[in-house]
Each structure stands twice: as structure tokens, then as C-alpha cells.
Amino acid sequence: MATFIAIPILSALMILQSGVISRIPLLQGTPDLLMLFILAWTMQKRVQTAWQWCIIGALIFGLVSALPIGTPLLGYALATAAALFLRKQLWQVPILAMLVSVLVGTLISHVISLLALRLVGNPIPIPQALNLITLPSAFLNLIFAIPAFAMMGDLAKWLYPETLEV
């Protein structure tokens, strides 16, 4: 259930991302809703399906985007791994872990995208990419991180109700 529900949720987020969010950039940067919600899901303490969400999200992203094949999967996988690591390190302050993992995840996915584009013969100038895309995207991702974390928290509570010991 926790895995299959990712398909409609992440598909809806992709529609929102490509239909609305990508049309209103800050400079050239846009928030990555899929990555945000995957990381927010990963940060929930009872969640054990982070990798499934990561793969489903990356496949949906790859279907829509013209990025080289495998780029979203690699970027999201590394971002999820970083988030899982941070969840263990900062387990007492999950919201801080969320913000740090969003920042790290944005940097990782953008570096992977830039490297992949360079490999296929589309070298994008790094300073311009940093100033115009990565920094504004990271800023927007951090803004959206808290509501995403709260929403995924509610979903996790619904899917993984706490058991009461009598």
C-alpha cells in the first residue's frame, strides 16, 4: 500500500511540476516537487519504502524529461541515500534533517544533471548554472520543504498508525 500509493501521488506532483511550477521560475530555477516529497517521505521515521518511492519518482521524471536516460534515477538515488544517512544522524531534529537533505539533494541532483548533459555533448557553464538555476532552485526547495514534510508526516501517520501497548 505504502509503495503503490506513490504512483498516483508522484504522478500528480509531476503534472503539477511540469504544468504549473516549471512555468513560474525564479531566475531559471524551479523547485523539484518530486524530489521534495520523496525526501520528505524518506525522513518519516516509520517509513521503510523510501527506495521504492525514489525509483517510482525517478521513472516518472524520466518519462517526462529530456534529460539523458538514468540521470533522474541516479540523482534521486544519491539524494535518497544522503537523506537516509541524515535521518540517522539527525534523528532528534527531523525538520533540520529534512532541510539539510533538501539542500544536499538539490546539489546532488543538479551536479548529476550537469555531468550527464556534459557527457552527451551539452556542456552548460557551471558558474551560470549555479547562479541562475541551482541557487534559486535550492532556495525554492527549502521554502517548499516544510509543507512537504508536514504533508508526508500526515500520510505516514495514516499509513503507519502507531500501535498502543496495553
Partner 1 sequence: MNTPSDRPRSLQTVIFILIAVGLIALALGGFLTPLSRILLSPMVAVQTWVATRFQAVQDIVSAPQDTTRLRQRNAELEAEVAQLQTQIIELQEQLAETNVLSALVDFARANPENRYQGAAVIARDPSPFLQYVIINRGSDNGLRRGMPVVTQQGLIGRIAAVTAGAARVQLITDPASTVNVRLEPSGAQAVLQGQITGEILLDMIPQEANVQPGDLVLTSGLGGGYPADILIGQVSSIRSRDQDIFQRASVQTVLDFSRINIVLVIVNFKPIDITPLLPTPIAP
**Chosen residue from 6, 9, 30, 100 binding partner 1 by CB under 8 A:** 30
Residue 58 contacts partner 1 per CB under 8 A: no
By CB under 8 A, the count of residues binding partner 1 is 31
**Chosen residue from 4, 12, 28, 70 binding partner 1 by CB under 8 A:** 28
Asked whether the beta carbons of 36 and 138 are under 8 A apart, the reply is no
Asked whether the beta carbons of 64 and 18 are under 8 A apart, the reply is yes
Asked whether the beta carbons of 98 and 40 are under 8 A apart, the reply is yes
Find, among 120, 116, 112, 125, the residue nearest to 28 by Cα. 125
Binding mask 95-134 for partner 1 (x = CB under 8 A): ---------------x--xx--x---xx-xx--xx--xx-
Distance separating alpha carbons of residues 161 and 49, to the nearest angstrom = 15
Q: Which residues pair with 26 in a beta bridge?
A: 29
Determine the angle formed by the axes of helices 50-64 and 71-89, rounding to 10 degrees: 150
Residue 18 contacts partner 1 per CB under 8 A: yes
Asked whether the beta carbons of 75 and 113 are under 8 A apart, the reply is yes
Residue 29 contacts partner 1 per CB under 8 A: yes
**Chosen residue from 6, 9, 10, 34 binding partner 1 by CB under 8 A:** 34
Distance separating alpha carbons of residues 34 and 54, to the nearest angstrom = 9
Residue 65 contacts partner 1 per CB under 8 A: yes
Nearer to partner 1, 114 or 148 (CB): 114
Residue 70 contacts partner 1 per CB under 8 A: no
Residue 11 contacts partner 1 per CB under 8 A: no
In the numeric block, which cell numbers belong to residue 152? 508526508
List contacts with partner 1 (CB under 8 A): 14-15, 17-19, 22-23, 25, 28-30, 32, 34, 61, 64-67, 110, 113-114, 117, 121-122, 124-125, 128-129, 132-133, 137
